Structure 1
């Protein structure tokens, strides 16, 4: 990219920058597109025989009383859908307006019940269960947004899908989760729920799930629920072990989202700079520096120039459109990068925010000064390209003087040493106690008979694997062989009485 416009002619248009996470998601979605939902499929065209289909296994319930209510709910759901315009169940579902209601969909059907003189208080629970059955039977496929919003009770949906759609698939996925090392039961439950949501939205079985389906669901959940998603890596890994996602699918989610090294444009566009001309200048500057820098240094340079310098200037001075900055603008910027807010607790227990010095603010000053000096030097060699951007550096050479900084750093190190020196004997004693106890446990394990239950050594000063049981009011806790129980931290339960 070659810069030909002058600062005075720069147009203030927002750069086409996106947040790094969003960029990664978009690139990954382009590489692995999700399955599209067709307008028609055999299940959604079964208007005449839908009620008969849902009254037979595997859509029936074992309990006779529950099945009676379930059939009544299915009739209500089908009657409600038939009142909507459309030729298929899917068209009627979309025309009903229930998708727009999201998680608050129940009033839509409740209003329909009231209009027909039907009491909704006891009918709505059976309607919700019946709607899950209709989805499991693939009469309709709700959107991922509607499902991600929690419109369907996910536990009920999992049971329905596991019972009627893909019993073998859900059973095998559950077994893979139980066999995986270091996996919490909650992570397996989350995996089953997400798999059921994809089946509800896309159709098919677990084996049909693609990488794009996974990415679409995770991205939609993050946007709709407005919180960070947990268990995503385990969700992807279990599906990969299951054999879904396709033969060419990466082994883990990190590989799916990996973008590799970003270009200078992508590095600068992370910060969404408004002034297009300055944005292009920073990109061009990074391109000039790129051959002599490793990627981490280039990324750090883009951070200091793009975020700490120009994004901060634009945020506080939206009219800034060039590198020649007023002295008050420069002074305010230096003050902002020199300090940061820190939350501290006062002696009376109140939490308050105070200004503290930012220890690495000189790194930004150094990069900004080098940026201005480089442009001035390059303008001598190529005035048409760099000349319009030559401006006095906002950072003076004396501001980067290093001796005072080194003295302050040495003072902080000495202060930390003085603070920690009095507790050094306590640290040494604690480490030695743990070492001796670990050695005793290791020796006991070596001498133990595998066929017998052998006691573990009990230390008066350190017994991390013992939890003492004592009656209330029996005095201070003591670690004795009679009162100690071996505690299994994997199950949070005692594995048996002590010796």
Structure 2
């Protein structure tokens, strides 16, 4: 075989998905014409129009300044040929490169023509005002790219609001004040809309979707590479979309045109992005991936391409220049396997010196398996189609012994089990922490909204001062009095709520994180049993990894969380907003659906992505200060909740095959691999030991109870009923607190008996006053203990009532109603059962 070099095209800086390409063809930008009526007007007519409102200045100094600058620019333009002011502008060549200062050319041309009658420094300062008058009057239409790159003129929106479209710009500024985005983002967005008006003409209502898309493309061409200044911000599109200026079929989100969401690319591009040198091998890799493509998803396809092209063949070309065959010598194969098993990690020490450490690569076994499958597939396909694949059927350099699946699985199992055991005990602390932080953040936000700028307020032990802002901001900023650091309380409350919601749903359902982000309002379904007519709330999990839907019973606790989420995201009319989500695995845009995990970003409602869920959980965990056994900060991945859910379910008696259905596993061994409990042999041995020990115990302990014993057992629960509620003492035990029920922690007060607690509290207060008056100090001390216990019980009752009233009724049965129905047994059914 001969080695040839592939001529690769330079990667485009503006690469969008096929869906975006179709939309760009559907919504093209407006054409820029070389001439229009206004630009053909004479200088006399132009100056006459500029001397009256709205172009005229507000005072004499402003009028003089605007007139002098306009005349200087007109004198310069008249030095160049053309039938219109636009043609003269194009003839100057100043509008071709916005990086150069066009004012230097103006000064040089005017000086050469003897028309520079002012000081060059003063003339340079006023030239921008003259040009912006011609742009606002629609005599000149510079290109969008030039307007974005030039340093003068700036702040075109102010001129457009004065002379071109006062109502349109005012509507945009009104939407800016009503939105949730600050001036630092919204003012540049309005400026971008003004740039489109300057380059294309017309009013704000004339700006089209194609104009916006063209502006975004030109922005990345003028300012290539990443930027933190917000130059590529799409808020201007969201602003126009929110004001209702676009048609109903407009793209719901401008993110569809971002190169970050490039969509699916052809197999050829997946291979060519790594610039393979050997053309025959490159063509083989393309054909192999195309052959595998129908049977795998796009995420697997990209992973397969990365492993075969980058980690395998490109690595061989880098270390063995000129290689052109899949038949590898033992030395070459051994060297590649050694490189793939290890990687070099660079770290910077305290002294600033960079050190390199060779560590074992976790994904080495997966890469070896992929390459081995590649060779074996070629050998198998060569038997079926020798003409196409026969020349590539060579011995596989990776033997079965090179891939130690059992050892790898054992290590992974041990690592995951240890990870689960470390996190299972701290899960209650994490749940309590995120719940406390959610309430504290909501309290700080409510206190800040009720305060005035400069006021201090304290919530949950944290003292803040409401910031005094120099300009408008829809956010609520508070300062720490000690350090002066500002905090966005709206963002803190939003992050705290969604961190709490993510943790609660993940731990109570065991769903995958991608399934969490795909939960929608349609996922809340109901099932009514045919026999009893009982209504059971269910959560429908969308298909993800196994492409199979499944249903989970919604517990009362989970119903409260889902209710809080729905109440937070719903519109004023009660509907849940439709959002467009991007499938990061298939690289496609999903249709608009009412997702549960959504939040407002700038002026657009967006779904919370998988990476966003990970960040929310990590930040919430960092605020708790929890550590692992080594003292390092503990980390929680979303998948850890799935393993903890499985372990907790099986340890509490759930049959493994039921857990398999709940988790959506195709193989029960996968479910058993999730549980971090003792091995099966230990469990069976322990159960056998218990059975042998039970056989040695007196048989009287396993006899059937008599009627008298059974009546005594039932009577125990009847005797626990008290005036204030129920006693929670264990069966067979007597009251050890001498019936001081108010002080007893086992008393469970019925909320309906709250008035009795108030009477007890009032009576105790009066008795304490009497004891102090009579000098009965011992009696007073005992009564104070009872009074404190009564107040504690009253607080518990108030908390239970508040939680019950705060819950939103979704038409689903609560735990109390379910328990009430289940305990109401018909006597006839009881006799039939006997």
Between 1:297-306 and 1:127-136, the stretch displaced more is 297-306
1:73 matched residue in structure 2 = 69
2:207 matched residue in structure 1 = 209
1:94 matched residue in structure 2 = 90
Between 1:220-229 and 1:436-445, the stretch displaced more is 436-445
Distance 2:247 2:183 in 1: 26
Question: Does residue 1:359 correspond to 2:359, yes or no?
Answer: no
1:276-355, aligned counterparts within 5 Å?
Answer: 276-313=279-316, 319-325=322-328, 330=333, 333-334=336-337, 337-340=340-343, 342-348=345-351, 350=353, 354-355=357-358
CA contact (8 A) 1:13 1:275 kept: yes
CA contact (8 A) 1:135 1:141 kept: yes
Change (3 A) 1:366 1:104: same
Distance 1:218 1:300 in 2: 30
1:253 matched residue in structure 2 = 254
Distance 2:315 2:217 in 1: 29
How many equivalent pairs are there?
A: 459
Matched position secondary structure for 1:104:
coil
1:479 matched residue in structure 2 = none
1:39 aligns with one of 34, 37, 52: 34
1:114 aligns with one of 105, 111, 115: 111
Change (3 A) 1:440 1:355: closer
TM-score (norm 1): 0.77
CA contact (8 A) 1:15 1:273 kept: no
Q: Which sections of structure 1, spanning at least 5 residues, go unmatched?
A: 1-7, 470-481, 493-499
**How far has the Cα of 1:317 moved from its partner?**
5.9
Change (3 A) 1:24 1:272: farther
1:497 matched residue in structure 2 = none
**How far has the Cα of 1:146 moved from its partner?**
1.1
Between 1:407-416 and 1:44-53, the stretch displaced more is 407-416
1:14 matched residue in structure 2 = 7
**How far has the Cα of 1:53 moved from its partner?**
2.4
1:163 matched residue in structure 2 = 162
1:108-257, aligned counterparts within 5 Å?
Answer: 108-115=105-112, 116=114, 117-118=116-117, 119-155=119-155, 157-181=156-180, 183-228=181-226, 230=230, 232-256=233-257
2:628 matched residue in structure 1 = none
Between 1:373-382 and 1:295-304, the stretch displaced more is 295-304
1:53 aligns with one of 24, 49, 52: 49
CA contact (8 A) 2:136 2:164 kept: yes
Matched position secondary structure for 1:98:
coil
**How far has the Cα of 1:286 moved from its partner?**
2.2
Change (3 A) 1:282 1:441: closer
Distance 1:36 1:201 in 2: 10
Matched position secondary structure for 1:14:
coil
**How far has the Cα of 1:71 moved from its partner?**
0.8
Distance 1:272 1:428 in 2: 51
Q: Which has the higher contact order (CA 8 A, sep 6+)?
A: 1
Q: Which sections of structure 2, spanning at least 5 residues, go unmatched?
A: 468-480, 492-834
Task: Give the number of the structure whose alpha-carbon radius of gyration is greater.
Answer: 2
